[in-house]
Amino acid sequence: MSIEPTELFACLADPTRLRLVTLLSSNEELCVCELVHALADIQPKVSRHLAMLRNCGLLTDAREGRWVYYRLATTLPRWAVETMCLTASAIEDDMPYQADRARLAGMPDRPLRRPCA
């Protein structure tokens, strides 16, 4: 997939979308319910931003029963993945990113990970 730098930064310009990508860059995949819990936000808002990121080509999703899992798209150019991962690493100790990770780690009844194909 081809994405221009201006497109990447436009997709990440919203704080909610940046928080989502930050969480996903340090987790192989996360369910919508995990992302809602981590961000302490409402499901429609989180789902809307996930759809925007998917439409930008930054994320892919997969349905497994009642769960929808999101992950960084494997078709992204290397520079885009590195940019997102470096950004996530640089801000991981800042608020609200630190709080997001703590809420995710403390989430009760997290869905079981999908088995490897």
Tens of pLDDT along 10-51? 999 999 999 999 999 989 899 999 999 999 999 999 999 999
Task: Please check whether residue 18 lies inside any domain of the structure.
Answer: yes
Task: Please check whether residue 93 lies inside any domain of the structure.
Answer: yes
Task: Please check whether residue 112 lies inside any domain of the structure.
Answer: no
Task: Please check whether residue 29 lies inside any domain of the structure.
Answer: yes
pTM (2 d.p.): 0.90
The phi-psi region of residue 98 (left if phi > 0; otherwise alpha if psi is between -120 and 50; otherwise beta) is alpha
Domain that holds residue 88: 5-104
Task: Please check whether residue 95 lies inside any domain of the structure.
Answer: yes
Task: Please check whether residue 60 lies inside any domain of the structure.
Answer: yes
Tens of pLDDT along 51-84? 999 999 999 999 988 889 999 999 999 999 999 9
Sort 49 into a burial class: Cβ within 10 Å, 0-12 / 13-18 / 19+: buried
Question: Residue 55's domain is classified under what CATH number?
Answer: 1.10.10.10
Domain count, the chain: 1
Task: Please check whether residue 14 lies inside any domain of the structure.
Answer: yes
Task: Please check whether residue 109 lies inside any domain of the structure.
Answer: no
> Three-state SS for 59?
strand
The pLDDT value recorded for residue 22 is 93
